[in-house]
């Protein structure tokens, strides 16, 4: 039986769990630091906290971190790497990922999303529902491309950046490290690091 542990009992975690089921994982449970007060996340049990998962991660065929905060997600992934956990990728059956693209460990591609050819996707990346990443894009570790966001060809996104829901990035644009792009924004030029952009065209707040 394929056993999957998910760290982070949240709404996003439920989406990841269902994706796991659809990908053939048969025994799925959650770990969360609100345990033991939190015992259930949707249809799946919460059975321990981070420390417990680090202790038993070898009992699972795969471990994923389903935490939306990019910094925390990467920090938890590093703890799991150090503990020797197996960190798979998940691709929803309705998503399309080119065989010529590479997905880093611990990354998820959710329902209806598209990753076109010759993309390099780092570890711990979320490509959320119906998001698209077109040809020749590079996404650093811990990036989150929110539902319905679209990256045109040749876009580069730095580590831990968050591409907001319904936003778009013009072809060949470089999005810096630790950048937040607001909902519905249109990014048409390279961005600095560690900033927030909103509007059409997007401007730094």
Catalytic residues: 135
Q: Which two tokens stand for residue 21?
A: 């089921």
Backbone phi, psi, residue 78, to 5°: -65, -40
Q: Which two tokens stand for residue 24?
A: 């053939």
Task: State whether residue 53 is helix, strand or coil.
Answer: helix
Paired sense of beta strands 162-163 and 108-109, if any: unpaired
Q: Cis bond leading into 201, ω under 30°?
A: yes
How far apart CA 45 and CA 161 sit, in angstroms, is 31
- CA nearest neighbour of 55 among 5, 121, 109: 5
């Amino acid at each position: 039986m394929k056993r999957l542990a998910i760290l982070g009992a949240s709404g996003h975690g439920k989406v990841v769990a269902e994706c796991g089921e659809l990908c053939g994982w048969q025994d799925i449970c959650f770990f969360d630091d609100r345990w033991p007060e939190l015992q259930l996340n949707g249809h799946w049990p919460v059975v321990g906290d981070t420390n417990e998962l680090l202790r038993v991660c070898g009992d699972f065929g795969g471990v994923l971190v389903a935490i939306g905060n990019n910094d925390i997600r990467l920090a938890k992934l590093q703890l799991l790497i150090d503990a020797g956990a197996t960190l798979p990728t998940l691709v929803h059956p309705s998503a399309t990922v080119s065989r010529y693209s590479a997905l880093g460990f611990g990354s998820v591609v959710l329902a209806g999303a598209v990753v076109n050819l010759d993309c390099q996707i780092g570890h711990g990346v979320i490509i959320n529902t119906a998001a698209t990443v077109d040809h020749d894009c590079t996404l650093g570790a811990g990036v989150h491309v929110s539902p319905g966001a679209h990256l045109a060809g040749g876009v580069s996104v730095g580590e831990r950046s968050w591409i907001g829901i319904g936003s778009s990035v013009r072809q060949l644009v470089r999005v810096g490290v630790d950048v937040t792009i607001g909902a519905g924004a249109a990014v048409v030029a390279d961005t600095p690091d560690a900033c927030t952009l909103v509007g059409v065209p997007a401007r730094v707040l």
